[in-house]
Structure 1
Amino acid sequence: MRVILFTGKGGVGKTTTAAATAVRAARAGVKTLVMSTDPAHSLGDTLGVPLGAGGGGVPVDLEPGLSALQISPPHLLGESWRVVQDYLLAVLDTVGVDAVVAEELTRLPGAEEVAALLELRAQVESGPWDLVVVDCAPTAETLRLLALPEALAWHLERLLPAQRGLIRTLRPAAAAAAGVPLPDQAVLEAVTGWHRQMRQVHRILTGDQTSVRLVLTPERVVIAESRRTWTSLSLYGFVVDAVVVNRVFPDAAEGGREPDAWRASWNAAQQDGLVEVRESFAGLPLVVTPYLSTEPIGADALADLAQAQDGGTEVLAPVVHRGLAVERTDEGFLLVLPLPLAHASDLGLQRRDDELVVTVGEHRRVLTLPSALQRCVVEGASVRDGLLRVRFVPDEEVWPRG
């Protein structure tokens, strides 16, 4: 089983690229599901079939070996959120919040993201697929989606012990006196279930079966965003295994004709962009997709697009995972986290009890330190050759030397 997620700046053609990859794999004998987490719901338009957004989580068979799926958040969230929402409504009612306002306040934030993650987990764990291709939302939404399982699990781990302790220590009479209803067992079971599912999703997303492919066009603004995206994806522990450069114009001088100034200018700009892409993403396989004369809609046209691509990697190729690592040194320990293209000026580090908070730009990851590092203090950090290195030395108050 392989999972490949496609993302990129809005409008670069990631849906078309994801669909073309799925069609090519299916026609090569790989049983493939292509699914979309993009709220724009353009996957069906690209494939030329009506998928809809309310299909109850059932994939649509398109041709032998190829199925497609559009996410349906209400179907996937079901009763588990309703149980928690009812409890929150009761709490807000006790403090006099208007019912209509309370209903709005208790809507699940990020419902489509949670639904997409749950559906991805279900298809990976129980679906008959060799390959799951995911057409993700534009980069900002995708980063939020991929960071959600670890962040939500982190919060739930801290919420559950507190809630269980509250129920054990706060008797119903005391709760009534306080005027705030306690969560019942159904609420705790729902939250516990989310915690378990988010941990399962995170294992899938960061495992050896899953990779991300960046889709971009050879334009300076798009390349700049893609560089930041690679750094942010690495911060959260995700592997980028290829870059797809989309909509590359044919050479203006092809056919022996004198190129017009407009096409010659675009050719020159795109060639400069391709040079920048190769330099920025050195070491990653590069796929160059030509700008065809017609819009590729439908499986046959998508297969033609995939055939026209230059370069790339096999869809079932194993993922080379370089995630967080801890190394022993003469002085203590070294925590190493891949952060390609990161600069020291973009980074922030904060030690918080047994956690290390790493910030890159506007993105933040909370790392729970291994037990050995919890008994150490941070001595320093550096960024070099695409790696963040944080040096730890034993805290003599809790781990005496010798």
Structure 2
Amino acid sequence: MRILLLTGKGGVGKSTLAAGTAALAAADGARTLVLSTDAAHSLADAYGVAVGAEPTEVAPRLFVQQVDAQLRFEQSWADVQRYLLQVLDAVGVDRVAAEELTVLPGAEEVLALLELRLRARSGEWDAIVVDCGPTAETLRLLALPEALGWYMQRVLPAERRLVRTLRPVLQRTVGVPMPGGDVFDAIERLHAELAEVHALLTGPGASVRLVLTPEAMVLAESRRTWTHLSLFGYTVDGVLANRVFPAAGADDWRAGWVDAQERVLAEVEDSFVGLPVWRSVYRAAEPVGVEALAALAREVYDEADPLAVPAGEGPFAITRTAGGAVLRLALPLVERGDVDLARNGEELVVTVGSYRRLLTLPSGLARMRVAGARVADGALRVRFAESERDTVPHHPDQHTEDLA
């Protein structure tokens, strides 16, 4: 099964291109579901039909779904929310305000990912196209499974034991109800489901496609997005440049825009070397409906398969060597000064800008020491050597002589 996520800066037209990509895939014979994780659902508007909380067939083999976040929230978070409401009630918070406070931040996007998991597990689809939210929301969302995993492995077991031991004393002393086993079970269930989503989206059949418009600020954000998606192990397989002015027949005013866009598009080609860059021409009217969207996508992809699985090495790889191993993490467009690297026990802490990833090392690497690190050719390479002693390189350009 193929999973394709489209994301980009708000307003660049990603919903239209997601809808078109899905329509083309279905027209070419793939049973396709297009799913929105964007809180501002636009797929119904793009197809010009009513869409419900369950997959709705809008054309042969083409189904559309906009997740009912409230329903999924109640199903997945009810036990935790019930406990939080008890706590807030005990300290005198108004019931209506308490219900607002207990809503999980970013619940719509998180629960849409859980819906993606269910649909992927069903085996009903050849392809699932995901219309993601704006890039910042998408990055926070895709980083969530690993962040929650760290909490689940290190904090939750201790909290379970502590609460079980001290519940009677704490409830009498502070008058606030302590969480029961159902609360911890709900959190563990959420973690397991999100971990499964992460495995799906970082697997060989999944990738992310960046949507941008030929503007300098949009390009700068797209470049950062490629770097940060790679940091968390997601494969970016191409770029969709949308709303490109056609050069033919341009008057003086439009000719200025054409020239400005061409300069940015040249930077796009230079920035995303190795990735296909597809262009979508600015149209006089927005395409609406399955046929118009499929025609748009067919023109954009220009005979290329919109669901082609990306070839080549993924963002993350470990290679064994005679004296240890080399861990490779793709970090496109990054210089060595942009990366901070540290070792913390069984974790490798990689920081790029405002994003940090805690990489839990496989047991085979965890017992080795970090012997060197290097940022080159769009990747961070960390060399591990057999030893009982750990070293912590704070700068990834230290001890680089042994890394290719």
Q: Does 1:73 align with 2:64?
A: no
For 1:64-107, what per-residue CA distance to the aligned partner results, in whole angstroms no more than 9, with x for missing partners? 1111011211111224422112223333455x352445444332
The residue aligned with 1:146 is 142
Q: What aligned pairs does 1:189-204 form with structure 2 within 5 A after superposition?
A: 189-204=185-200
SS of equivalent to 1:182? coil
The residue aligned with 2:259 is 268
The residue aligned with 1:391 is 383
- Determine which of 350, 374, 380 is the counterpart of 1:382: 374
The residue aligned with 1:282 is 273
Q: Does 1:368 align with 2:360?
A: yes
Which residue identity does 1:341 align to in structure 2?
L
SS of equivalent to 1:15? helix
Deviation at 1:350, TM superposition (A): 2.6
Partner Cα distance (1:374, 1:114) in 2: 31
Would the aligned equivalents of 2:170 and 2:178 in 1 still touch at CA under 8 Å?
no
SS of equivalent to 2:128? strand
Which residue identity does 2:93 align to in structure 1?
D
Would the aligned equivalents of 2:35 and 2:66 in 1 still touch at CA under 8 Å?
yes
The residue aligned with 2:344 is 352
Q: Which moved more, 1:348-357 or 1:125-134?
A: 348-357
The residue aligned with 1:164 is 160
For 1:351-389, what per-residue CA distance to the aligned partner results, in whole angstroms no more than 9, with x for missing partners? 222212211111111111222333344344221100111
Partner Cα distance (2:21, 2:108) in 1: 24
SS of equivalent to 1:309? helix
The residue aligned with 2:80 is 84
Deviation at 1:239, TM superposition (A): 0.5
The residue aligned with 2:306 is 315
Partner Cα distance (1:372, 1:62) in 2: 50
Would the aligned equivalents of 1:287 and 1:312 in 2 still touch at CA under 8 Å?
no
RMSD: 2.3
Q: Which moved more, 1:82-91 or 1:4-13?
A: 82-91
SS of equivalent to 1:392? strand
**What is the count of residue pairs matched by the alignment?**
389
Q: Which moved more, 1:312-321 or 1:220-229?
A: 312-321
Partner Cα distance (1:185, 1:349) in 2: 38
SS of equivalent to 2:34? strand
Partner Cα distance (1:310, 1:68) in 2: 21
Partner Cα distance (1:13, 1:300) in 2: 18
Would the aligned equivalents of 1:242 and 1:312 in 2 still touch at CA under 8 Å?
no
Gaps of 5+ in 2: 392-404
Q: Which moved more, 1:84-93 or 1:343-352?
A: 84-93
SS of equivalent to 1:129? coil
TM-score, length of structure 2 as denominator length: 0.89
SS of equivalent to 2:329? strand
C-alpha change, 1:289 and 1:312, in structure 2 (3 Å) is farther
The residue aligned with 2:46 is 46
Gaps of 5+ in 1: none
The residue aligned with 2:394 is none
Q: What aligned pairs does 1:57-68 form with structure 2 within 5 A after superposition?
A: 57-68=53-64
- Determine which of 217, 221, 225 is the counterpart of 1:229: 225
Partner Cα distance (1:367, 1:398) in 2: 16
Partner Cα distance (1:2, 1:396) in 2: 43
Would the aligned equivalents of 2:7 and 2:211 in 1 still touch at CA under 8 Å?
yes
Deviation at 1:174, TM superposition (A): 6.5
The residue aligned with 1:12 is 12
The residue aligned with 2:396 is none
For 1:94-146, what per-residue CA distance to the aligned partner results, in whole angstroms no more than 9, with x for missing partners? 5x352445444332122112111111111111151111111111111111121
The residue aligned with 1:32 is 32
Which residue identity does 1:8 align to in structure 2?
G
SS of equivalent to 1:136? strand
Deviation above 6 Å: which 4+ runs of structure 1? none
Q: Does 1:186 align with 2:182?
A: yes
- Determine which of 103, 106, 111 is the counterpart of 1:107: 103
